[in-house]
Amino acid sequence: MKRPKEINLSEARRTFSHLLREIEEDPATGYRITVRGKCIAELKAPAARQSNLAPGKAMLAAARKMEQMMPQGASLGSVRNYREQLYGEGGLIDPSAKPKSIR
């Protein structure tokens, strides 16, 4: 992100809509609002807008990267064999057990 530009509070009030348009056009733009030389606020785009990827595209990119990191034919036992792990011999859930009635 670029270094935020410093502007006075009264100038920020006058040109607020213009500042928002600039931030919308270039999410890397930021403003530091000051009063008597002290920073009291910062105006910038949300973090998701600052990155060039939309959140959905970022998630797909991360999933593809994870696929590349996994060796070919790696076991995904905890995902693919969940029924066996839950209901099989020594599983977490006993399929023959009757549910207890709730009063």
DSSP designation for 52: S
Residue 78 lies inside a defined structural domain of this protein: no
Check residue 4 and give its pLDDT.
87
Which of 56-60, 64-68, 79-83 comes out lowest in average pLDDT?
79-83
Alpha-carbon span 57 to 49, nearest angstrom = 12
Q: What is the CATH number of the domain that holds 18?
A: 3.40.1620
Assess if residue 26 is contained within a domain.
yes
- What pairing do the DSSP bridges indicate for beta strands 38-44 and 30-35? antiparallel
Domain span at residue 40 reads 5-50
- Provide the domain count of the chain: 1
Query: pLDDT of 2-56, one tens digit each?
Result: 788 999 999 999 999 999 999 888 888 899 999 999 999 999 988 756 556 567 7
pLDDT in tens, 84-96: 666 666 666 666 7
